[in-house]
A and B are shown apart, each in its own frame.
Chain A
Amino acid sequence: MAKYITKRILKGIVTFLITITLTFFIVRLMPADPATLLMDPRMSEAHRQQLLKDFGLDKPLIVQYFSFLRNLLKGDLGISFMQKRPVMDIIMEKLPWTLLLMTITQFITMAVGIPLGIYSGHKRGSLFDQIVNAVAIFGISIFVPWLGFTLLYIFGYNLAILPIGGAHTPGIDGGLEYFLDVGKHLILPVITLMSIYLANYVLYTRGSVIDVLSEDYIRTARSKGMKEMRVLWKHASKNAMIPTVTTAGLMIGRMVGGAVLTETVFAYPGVGRMIYQAVSQQDFPILQGAFIILALSVIIMNIITDILCAYLDPRIKLE
């Protein structure tokens, strides 16, 4: 197991290195050069050169790349063009909100989606299964901003029972009240972000339960006279979960994309909304930094998922 974990972490590091290299060159090689975007055209030439030097944009690309790597190791992601503050500080203010949103969504999605998928696969063809299937197909087809707006419209404006945006009410800073307030602000964003992924979990789990239920060991368990529910939840579900957990890793990367849209709609102060704002301000250090941090989070979560998979299915370690 230790060998597998080391291998997996090494692979994660390589993935991360390639990701940041790719990002660096994509940002630098695009037609619009960050220097011109940063500059005010009325700026004097001397001032311009000074600014270029301050941001390190006057050196050759390869030198910039290595100093970028060196700084990254020190946790330095550069300075925001607009806010003139370290990107790392800005991201660290936003990241907890995004992680909170995504972790809660992930847990609820798995807790609801996996049992729903198992049961619907077991009752294949029944009315329950057909309803779950139909809802899931609509679920994967939903457009996140639209669902967000609709929920906002109904619960935020018309019924006015839930907050219309943000992550907490300013002024409430401590104790149970703060906790409840943050929870209340999370309800609509979590439901919105959940929609697509819940459907995915249900469909994946359903598919693998159907496969697993036709295996020999299930027939053996049944022929021993074991109760059907015990066969399903004890024997079939553990194996049926392996493909689902495997895809959970891939799902996290896609969920980040959903988080950008959800946070924008709900004005949720996370990294996703920061990306949206940085886009309209053409703030490249922020964009680059946000992407690197998000990619790192996803890679770490992927390593955790893979280790979990190896625990569930010992065959994986041998590959």
Chain B
Amino acid sequence: MLELKKKSSFRKRWEKEIKAFLNHKIGMIGLFGVIFLVIVAILAPVIAEPVSGYGDYEDKLLKPSSEHLFGTDDMGLDLFSQVVWGTRSSIKVGIIAVILALAIGVPIGLISGYYGGIFDTIGMGITDIFLTIPMLPLMIIIAAIAESNSINMVAFIIGIFSWPSIARITKSSTLKVCGMQYIEAAKCLGIKTKSILLKHVLLNASTPVFINLTIVMASSIVTESSISFLGLGDPLTHSWGKILHNAYQSGAFGTAWWYSLFPSLAIIFFVISFNFLSMGVRDALNPRISRE
């Protein structure tokens, strides 16, 4: 009975926001884009046969045709297949990066916001430093030194540097929530700090964090593509950045426009979808900004 009551109050609480999101055209476009990408990633083995190694010499740099929708690369390999399988890597990198960003950023933000004082100084001090220093060169250095650059390793490197924005947002919303009376009440009732933090503070601070997650997702793909483009990605996995790296290395980007166009469009589609989604969620939760 209690469960039921809880559920319906949850529905009631978010009804307005869900409706606002469904009416948000850009947000819905983003949502469909994201769903499309996830489906492509899951169905990759059904959509296209994986390609690797060297293709036939006669298939070198073929223009897009019905047989090769996106054309072929300088090895004679089908680009459509590479782009489809690249979707899988991108989603994987995004998810790993998001999980790591949450695992590091949320505790730092929560502790800084809830305890304040010395915890806040240290926590936010570290966050500030990580926000200031140029991240991409640092990640490039680590990727260059790391012995194996599997796709998981690249995702890990991106993840351990994606948390500062999450930490900041968690902290500011924690501060806001901690000022509310029900937290005071919970403290007075003698509820353990741990359960106050996890149950009350975290739950209520989670919406702005969620909005930020979609942005972390989008930027982690840009970073992964950049790292792969510079030749530091996983040599054994298809990724959009790696196709661009090959295009650049082969010198064919000037003649074979399809070589660099399709992976780039894939990256742009991915980033735009997640940005649109985050705009939709943000506007739905924050009607003040969106009244246009």
Contacts and interface: CB of A to CB of B under 8 A. Distances in A.
Contact of B145 (A143, A276, A284): A284
A4 B124 CA distance: 19
Given A146-B264, A250-B132, A256-B137, A137 B231 contact: no
Interface stretch (B45-53, B102-110, B184-192, B265-273): B265-273
Contacts of A142: 268
Nearest to B143: A279
Contacts of B140: 260, 275, 279, 287
Interface stretch (B14-22, B69-77, B85-93, B221-229): B221-229
A135 to B, nearest CB: 12
Contact of B275 (A14, A19, A140, A210): A140
A244 interface: no
Contacts of B244: 143, 145-146
Contacts of A141: 218, 268, 271-272, 275
Given A26-B142, A287-B141, A287-B144, A143 B225 contact: yes
Given A30-B142, A137-B275, A141-B268, A253 B134 contact: yes
A314 interface: no
B232 to A, nearest CB: 6
A295 B137 CA distance: 9
Contact of B132 (A15, A31, A138): A15
A44 interface: no
B272 A138 contact: yes
SS class, residues of chain A in contact with chain B: helix
Contacts of B141: 23, 26-27, 287-288, 291
A223 B129 CA distance: 45
A18 interface: yes
B226 A253 contact: no
Interface string A15-43: 10011000100110011100000000000
B260 interface: yes
Interface residues of B, number: 44
Interface centre among B136, B231, B244, B247 (most CB of A within 10 A): B136
B78 to A, nearest CB: 20
B133 interface: yes
B153 to A, nearest CB: 11
A261 B229 CA distance: 9
A271 to B, nearest CB: 9
B27 to A, nearest CB: 12
Contacts of B254: 152-153, 157
B272 to A, nearest CB: 4
Interface in B242-292: 244, 247-248, 253-254, 257, 260-261, 264, 267-268, 271-272, 275-276, 279, 289, 292
A31 B131 CA distance: 26
B226 A144 contact: yes
A149 interface: yes
A53 interface: no
A142 B226 CA distance: 12
A196 to B, nearest CB: 9
B132 A302 contact: yes
Contacts of A256: 134, 136-137
A153 B218 CA distance: 27
Nearest to B263: A146
A290 B136 CA distance: 12
Nearest to A278: B144
Given A137-B272, A143-B225, A298 B135 contact: no
Chain A residues touching B, range: 35 or more
Contacts of B267: 143, 146
Interface centre among B125, B134, B147 (most CB of A within 10 A): B134
A256 B145 CA distance: 20
A280 B140 CA distance: 11
A36 to B, nearest CB: 11
A70 interface: no
B230 interface: yes
Given A137-B276, A290-B137, A298-B133, A149 B260 contact: yes
A209 B66 CA distance: 50
Nearest to A30: B145
Nearest to B223: A257
Interface string B109-138: 000000000000000010011011111111
B136 to A, nearest CB: 3
Interface in A86-144: 124-125, 137-138, 140-144
A253 B144 contact: no
Contacts of A278: 144
B146 interface: yes
Interface in A268-319: 272, 275-276, 278-280, 282, 284, 287-288, 290-291, 294-295, 298-299, 302
A254 interface: yes
B232 A279 contact: yes
Given A157-B254, A287-B144, A290-B137, A253 B131 contact: yes
Contacts of B136: 254, 256-258, 260-261
Interface of B: 125, 128-129, 131-138, 140-142, 144-147, 218, 222, 225-226, 229-232, 244, 247-248, 253-254, 257, 260-261, 264, 267-268, 271-272, 275-276, 279, 289, 292
20 contacts: A14-B125, A15-B128, A15-B132, A30-B145, A30-B146, A137-B276, A140-B271, A143-B222, A145-B229, A145-B264, A153-B257, A254-B136, A257-B135, A257-B226, A260-B230, A261-B136, A261-B226, A279-B231, A287-B140, A287-B141
